[in-house]
Amino acid sequence: MAFAAACFCAVLGHETPAGAQTSDLVSRNAFRVCADPANLPISDKNGDGYENRLAELFAAKLELPVAYTWYPMATGFIRNTLRANRCDVVMGYAQGHELVLNTNHYMTSVYTLIVPKDGDLGAVTTLSDDRLKGKRIGIIAGSPPATHMARNSLIGKAKPYHLVVDRRYESPSVDMLKDLSSGDIDAAILWGPIGGPLVKQGYPDLQVIPLMNETLPPNLFYRITMGVRQGEKVWQRKLNSLIRRNQKEIDAILIDAGVPLLNDMGTALYGEDK
Position 53 pLDDT exceeds 70: yes
In this predicted structure, the answer to whether residue 49 has a pLDDT above a threshold of 70 is: yes
Q: What's the N-to-C CA distance of the chain in angstroms?
A: 27
pTM confidence score: 0.90
Query: Is 24 or 216 the better-scoring residue by pLDDT?
Result: 216
- Cα dist. 259→82, 83, 138 in Å? 26, 29, 20
Per-residue model confidence as pLDDT tens digits over 246-262: 999 999 999 999 999 99
Q: What band does 163 get if pLDDT is binned at 50, 70 and 90? A: confident
Identity of the amino acid at 76: G
Distances (CA, A) of 191 to 14, 87, 113, 118: 22, 26, 9, 22
Number of other residues whose CB lies within 10 A of the CB of residue 273: 11
Give the pLDDT band of residue 104 (cuts 50, 70, 90): very high
Residues 6+ apart with CB under 8 A from 2: 8, 39, 42, 43, 51, 73, 90, 91, 92, 93, 193, 224
Alpha carbon distance 214, 127 (integer Å)? 8
**What average pLDDT does range 215-238 have in this prediction?**
96
